[in-house]
Amino acid sequence: MKKLLIIIFIAALASACKSQDELQSQYNLAQELFKKREYFDAVTELKRLNFFDSTNQFSFQSCLLMGKAHKAGAMLNDAVHNFTMAGIFSRTDEEFYEAEIELIRVNILRRTSSQAHKIIDRLLLDERFISKKDELNYWKGWAYIFEDDWVNAADLFSKVSENHELTNFCDSINDQLYSATLAKLLSVFIPGAGQIYTGNYLNGIFSLGWNVFAGWLSINSFAEERIFDGLVAANFLWLRFYIGGINNAQKFAEEKNLAITNNALDYLQHKYGGLKP
């Protein structure tokens, strides 16, 4: 009886070891698919691994890899879910930190940067990760870039290291940006000036000319006591174009800023050599 039980026990133990091998080879298969950029199939195999891994031996790795596959496939919401789960299944501080960093990066990418800031701030206060301050500031800087806050971004990159490449880059972008408020105010005081400030010279000169002409027409009508004509000219010929010019100045500034920031992001995506979200 005793021998029989020992044999059964050894058989069960062997079975358990084989199970682990099977799970390991399943994880390897998923990794291979991920490397071949077959993200859909990689996620399927990782889901299979998670389903059969009843003791959660591979849960951290599989959730992390699944998050990366979803991120690579631009399924950012799913990636956030996977990285959150990876954090839950982490067994060491390093694993937890790795999952949190991935979560920060994907939150920056999907422009939920307030969430990224929250996680970064929490990690900055965590004594376990005191040595990771520079890396956390680096990602905080990236979060500001995606918020179009180039001043704060430059400030944070300067904290990471002196003369950081991204500090100078963010400063230069900030210098190129137009102030929409200034453009509007210029057009309030001198019609067309806001458009000229944003580089739309022809539009600015035309706006100035039209305002002078329509203004003269309105004032002249009032001066000759043609009140109705004056009201019509002031309302339909002057005020409409005056207000339109102010709005145009703001629109031009915003369009220019969008082009500048798009170019900046394009540079960061294709030419910047450092780590990106």
212: contact with other proteins by CB under 8 A: no
81: contact with other proteins by CB under 8 A: no
Q: What is the rounded CA–CA span in Å between residue 61 and residue 63?
A: 6
Residue range at the interface with other proteins (CB under 8 A); choices 43-51, 64-72, 118-126, 239-247: 43-51
Kindly write out the interface string for residues 52-71 of this chain, putting x where it contacts other proteins by CB under 8 A and - elsewhere. Answer: x-xx----------------
236: contact with other proteins by CB under 8 A: no
Taking the chain, what is the end-to-end CA distance rounded to the nearest angstrom? Answer: 62
224: contact with other proteins by CB under 8 A: no
20: contact with other proteins by CB under 8 A: yes
Q: Which one among 31, 38, 44, 272 touches other proteins, defined by CB under 8 A? A: 44
Greatest alpha-carbon pair distance for the chain in Å reads 123
125: contact with other proteins by CB under 8 A: no
- Is 65 in contact with 31 (CB distance < 8 Å)? yes
Which phi-psi region, left, alpha or beta, contains residue 262 (left: φ > 0; alpha: ψ -120 to 50)? alpha
Residue range at the interface with other proteins (CB under 8 A); choices 51-59, 66-74, 103-111, 146-154: 51-59
Query: Any residues with CB less than 8 A from the CB of 184 and at least 6 apart, and which?
Result: 194, 246, 249, 250, 253
In this structure, what are the phi and psi dihedrals at residue 272, rounded to the nearest 5 degrees? -70, 130
Question: Cβ closer to other proteins: 89 or 197?
Answer: 89
Q: C-beta of 89: minimal distance to other proteins in Å?
A: 18
18: contact with other proteins by CB under 8 A: yes
Q: What is the rounded CA–CA span in Å between residue 228 and residue 274?
A: 67
Question: Cβ closer to other proteins: 16 or 212?
Answer: 16
Question: Cβ closer to other proteins: 27 or 60?
Answer: 27
259: contact with other proteins by CB under 8 A: no
Q: What is the rounded CA–CA span in Å between residue 109 and residue 78?
A: 13
Please, is 232 exposed, middle or buried when counting C-beta atoms within 10 Å of its C-beta (0-12, 13-18, 19+)?
A: middle
Q: Which one among 223, 228, 271, 273 touches other proteins, defined by CB under 8 A? A: 228
2: contact with other proteins by CB under 8 A: yes
8: contact with other proteins by CB under 8 A: yes
Q: Alpha helices, DSSP H only, in the chain?
A: 2-35, 39-52, 59-72, 76-89, 93-109, 113-125, 133-146, 150-160, 165-176, 180-189, 193-197, 201-223, 227-232, 240-270
Interface with other proteins (CB under 8 A): 1-2, 5-6, 8-9, 12-13, 15-16, 18-20, 22-23, 26, 43-44, 47-49, 51-52, 54-55, 228
